[in-house]
Structure 1
């Protein structure tokens, strides 16, 4: 990423912590949480790697091809899963944006591209993630876990819906920051 290295490292830290929390969510007793958490962990760690400041490390050109392949496979998986769960359409948008950024960065000779993307496509992704970030922020109202009997129960870290929403919000904001550098 372009810009001050300290901001790049903050973005790396945010994405890595988000990915780590998503790994914790994979231990949830709720199957739906586990299923979504794996893809979100991949996104968090992938975004952390891509956000490393350009002044620190410039990956070899094959790394961008590898990123595009990994996130391309994740996009196909999200497309397949979207047949039964609409939430996977967001995963499809995320993984598609990651493929787009990897291809753009790879096309610029392995350097973080500034002005190297397709402006219309970049604008579409920026609008989508800005809208998603706003919607995620509105949804951050804490949710109490209610058991079938109507009593409120204590939930583990992996089952806290408001924390999962906060992770999705932080990844949407990070995606905005990364897309703005294209």
Structure 2
């Protein structure tokens, strides 16, 4: 990732933190995903995709290179095929679509910013395609604002403050809902920051 070193390390730290939260949710069986049922397969799928994407984003920030682009292209294909090929509730399909867009955005960023960007021909690649970069910035900026506003306006029983306050005694339920949304918002902010460096 190109740009100030502090931004690179902040994005990496944010991504590792998001991956850790998702991993804890998976291990606790609290993945509610979109259906609201604790431990449901859609929730585990969503948490697993977010953990993989977060770890990939951290790796991409610290060790940029085109190999990440191909890995994220495969993940994007799997998510988008899941949107097209599986019937079911709108919530899981919307999550797969969001993850597919996120994986495509990371593939685009990785392929547009290979190591050595700024030298010769690679400088041209580092700029990316301004319309694509702009559209992705709008998407992830809007998603982060929308997701953040949902966290702030959550009912008292499900908001992040209530989740933190209940941590001592409610077990896996603490890890549901609000933290899942917080993971997605963190990933959206991280993607927005990466796109800004292009």
Q: How many residues align?
A: 164
Q: Does 1:135 align with 2:143?
A: no
Preserved CA contact (<8 Å) 1:115 1:181: no
Moved runs in structure 1, 4+ residues, more than 3 A? Answer: 109-115, 141-145
Q: How does 1:81-96 map to 2 (within 5 A)?
A: 81-83=82-84, 84=87, 85-96=93-104
- The one-character-per-residue Cα deviations of 1:13-71 (angstroms, maximum 9, x if unpaired) are 1111111111122221332221101110111111111222xxxxx65xxx41x212211
Which residues of structure 2 form unaligned runs of 5+?
Answer: 30-38, 88-92, 159-168
The structure carrying a bigger helix percent of its residues is: 2
Which residues of structure 1 form unaligned runs of 5+?
Answer: 53-57, 146-152
- Determine the C-alpha separation between the residues in 2 that align with 1:162 and 1:173: 16
Preserved CA contact (<8 Å) 1:19 1:40: yes
* 2:19 match: 19
- Determine the C-alpha separation between the residues in 1 that align with 2:44 and 2:183: 14
Q: TM-score, normalised by structure 1?
A: 0.80
